[in-house]
Amino acid sequence: MQIKSAEYKASYIDVAKCPKGEVPEFAFIGRSNVGKSSLINYLCGRKKLSKVSNTPGKTQTLNFFDINETLQFVDLPGYSFARVSIEMRNKWDNMIRNYILHREQLMYVFQLIDARIPPQKVDLEFIGWMGKNHVPLVVIFTKADKAGGKDTLQNIQTFKNELLKEWDELPVTFVTSAEKKHGKEAVLEFIEKEARSYYKQKKSQLEEEKENAS
């Protein structure tokens, strides 16, 4: 898939207020500073679609982007930002978890993991929570500037081993670097395939409804 158009649509803080639609949605989440904005920009081939900043914790809303007029990306606030009050952190946390649990058109959550560091407790906790709640998820390793590098490979393997302590099966994983610009083709192919199957299912549902009505 090639992203031909990517437009910022709107931001919300309450999932109940996010407009419902018929388009499949893919959400991006990770620790502050994991490289989420950079990855979204890289996937979309845009420099400033999602703000890249050195000030972690800036994105505090659910940010919606229209992609090719056929699907949506949702940029979720980075979790685990230390420099805010516990009250504020709990508020964000509730907002994110409510969105993930209650958004009907959400197809996948892309959990971003920094490939340059060993597994972090907060990431394992969050992914564990999603697993327990049967949230369809994909892991995207970020900042893998040297994809075949020893440390990168080791961090990725250790992360997978941690997941396998709890799970029987690993989720789909991708390895990317927004800086070195590699890894996006596989991610976009996955998104295209899933969006296609969403529309196919929708079509057969409609046909079935028509048949039942006649």
Query: Which residues of this chain interact with ligand GDP, rule CB under 6 A?
Result: 30, 32-38, 52-54, 56, 78, 142-143, 145, 177-179
Q: How far is the CB of 3 from ligand GDP (least distance, A)?
A: 17
Structure tokens at 22: 């018929």
Smallest CA-to-CA distance from 124 within 159, 153, 175 is with 159
- Select 59 or 72, whichever has its Cβ closest to ligand GDP: 59
Q: Is 20 exposed, middle or buried (0-12, 13-18, 19+ CB in 10 A)?
A: exposed
Q: How far is the CB of 126 from ligand GDP (least distance, A)?
A: 14
Q: How far is the CB of 57 from ligand GDP (least distance, A)?
A: 8
Cα–Cα distance measured from residue 168 to residue 188, given in angstroms and rounded to the nearest whole number: 26
- Select 127 or 195, whichever has its Cβ closest to ligand GDP: 127
- Select 15 or 49, whichever has its Cβ closest to ligand GDP: 49
- Select 38 or 173, whichever has its Cβ closest to ligand GDP: 38
The residue assigned the tokens 């327990």 is 132
- For residue 12, give the 3-state DSSP assignment: strand
